[in-house]
């Protein structure tokens, strides 16, 4: 039986750090294990311009623990007023690694997102020309579309038409949650990747709703049926280059989660690597964990993997139930089963 596993240092290709007191509290949880992360731009107000991204990067770097070599990879929030020239300049300077598409109203702080996709076509065409990836929150927001169907409808109505009308545009389908998304990703070429979160590998919609509502399992896109969870696990553990880790770790204080209309998001930065080791071991795929967490993402984004390594050992970890912040406690995601791996 394997008792230790050493892999290249992992990266997180979808991360929420927020700002201010929350940023200062949760950033060390990611920097402890991960070398880089794609930083989500949905602050209030959102990170729309290169100047705003540079300022946010500076705040992140200032909040890092002393001696940390973690690198934030910045993104811009796509709006209908985004300037193609500003996007190009931010990319050319090395400041940003992607642009994020939120359909308006799809998730936390997405009110400034896109409603009319024709208005962002000049930006998308510019991105295709310079090789800048588009990270996509893949859900429609139409009130008449069932929340459990919104990802599949987005693929048909929005994503596939965008790809057909913008040849060469590199796309990351973020936090996929359905077998439909897995199948679509597999049907496309190497210019399309897909991230999978830690929590969607271990929970389905029953975990949220059966036996009482569990607010700390509520996220967007919402977890789906068990058949979809199993399709995600098969994709993540397959070793296929198109699938890689994006935790979508999303901190909210308990006061904001435990409301009649609570916030969506699971905070997994603290214990992701332990959970992943257990999932991959259960699926007889420990040898492919490095591809999912450490190799496939850098390859898609055109970056080298890390020279440094991370070692996991077969021992019970001791993670806190909550992270303290000046704004209030943030509950760490509970996978619902005892963990048997820890980072050495």
Tens of pLDDT, residues 9-62: 999 999 999 999 999 999 999 999 999 999 999 999 999 999 999 999 999 999
Cα–Cα dist 269/283, whole Å: 22
- Identify the band that residue 105 occupies on the pLDDT scale cut at 50, 70 and 90: low
Mean pLDDT computed over 75-83: 96
Mean pLDDT computed over 56-70: 98
Mean pLDDT computed over 190-218: 98
Query: Under 8 Å CB-to-CB from 42, ≥6 apart: which residues?
Result: 16, 77, 100, 102, 107, 108, 109, 110
Mean pLDDT computed over 77-87: 96
pLDDT of residue 2: 85
* CB of 290 closer than 8 Å to CB of 277: no
What helix, strand, coil percent values describe the chain, rounded to 5? 40, 15, 45
How deeply is 196 buried, as exposed, middle or buried, from its count of CB atoms within 10 A (0-12, 13-18, 19+)?
A: buried
pLDDT of residue 103: 85
pLDDT of residue 110: 64
Cα–Cα dist 173/8, whole Å: 24
pLDDT of residue 108: 66
Q: Is the peptide bond before 310 cis (omega within 30 degrees of 0)?
A: no
Name the phi and psi angles at 226, rounded to 5: -60, -35
pLDDT of residue 279: 98
Query: CA-based angle 126:128:133, to the nearest 5?
Result: 105
Cα–Cα dist 177/149, whole Å: 10
Catalytic residue chosen out of the listed positions 11, 12, 180, 248: 248
Characterise 207 by phi-psi region: left (phi > 0), alpha (psi -120 to 50), beta (else).
Answer: alpha
CA-based nearest residue to 232, from 241, 243, 221, 222:
243
Tell me whether residue 69 is one of the annotated catalytic residues.
Answer: no
Cα–Cα dist 13/173, whole Å: 11
Q: Domain ranges in the chain?
A: 4-343
Q: What is the chain's mean pLDDT, rounded?
A: 96
pLDDT digits (tens, 9 = 90+) for 167-188: 999 999 999 999 999 999 999 9
pLDDT digits (tens, 9 = 90+) for 240-265: 999 999 999 999 999 999 999 999 99
Name the CATH superfamily housing domain 4-343: Metal-dependent hydrolases (3.20.20.140)
pLDDT of residue 109: 59
pTM, 2 dp: 0.97
């Amino acid at each position: 039986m394997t008792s230790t596993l050493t892999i290249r240092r992992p990266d997180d290709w979808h991360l929420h750090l927020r700002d201010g007191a929350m940023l200062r509290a949760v950033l060390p949880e990611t920097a402890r294990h991960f070398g880089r992360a794609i930083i989500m731009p949905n602050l209030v107000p959102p990170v729309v311009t290169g100047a705003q991204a540079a300022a946010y990067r500076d705040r992140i770097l200032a909040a890092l623990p002393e001696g940390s070599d973690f690198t934030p990879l910045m993104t811009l929030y796509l709006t209908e007023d985004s300037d193609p020239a500003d996007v190009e300049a931010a990319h050319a300077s090395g400041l940003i690694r992607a642009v994020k598409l939120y359909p308006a109203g799809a998730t936390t702080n997405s009110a400034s997102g896109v409603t009319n996709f024709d208005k962002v076509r000049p930006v998308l065409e510019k991105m295709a020309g310079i090789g800048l990836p588009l990270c996509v929150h893949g859900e429609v927001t139409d009130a008449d579309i069932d929340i459990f169907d919104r990802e599949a409808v987005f693929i048909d109505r929005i994503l596939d038409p965008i790809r057909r009308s913008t040849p060469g545009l590199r796309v990351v389908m973020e936090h996929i949650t359905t077998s439909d998304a897995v199948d679509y990703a597999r049907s496309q070429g190497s210019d399309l990747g897909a991230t999978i979160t830690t929590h969607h590998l271990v929970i389905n919609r029953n975990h949220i709703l059966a036996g009482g509502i569990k607010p700390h399992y509520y996220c967007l896109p919402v977890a789906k049926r068990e058949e979809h969870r199993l399709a995600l696990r098969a994709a993540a553990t397959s070793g296929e280059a198109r699938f890689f880790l994006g935790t979508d770790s999303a901190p909210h204080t308990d006061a904001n989660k435990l409301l009649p209309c609570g916030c969506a998001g699971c905070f997994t930065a603290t214990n992701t690597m332990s959970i992943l080791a257990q999932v991959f071991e259960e699926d007889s795929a420990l040898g492919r964990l490095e591809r999912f967490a450490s190799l496939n993402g850098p390859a898609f984004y055109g970056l080298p993997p890390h020279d440094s390594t991370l070692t996991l050992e077969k021992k019970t970890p001791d993670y806190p139930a909550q992270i303290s912040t000046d704004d209030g406690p943030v509950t760490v995601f509970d996978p619902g089963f005892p963990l048997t791996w820890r980072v050495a």
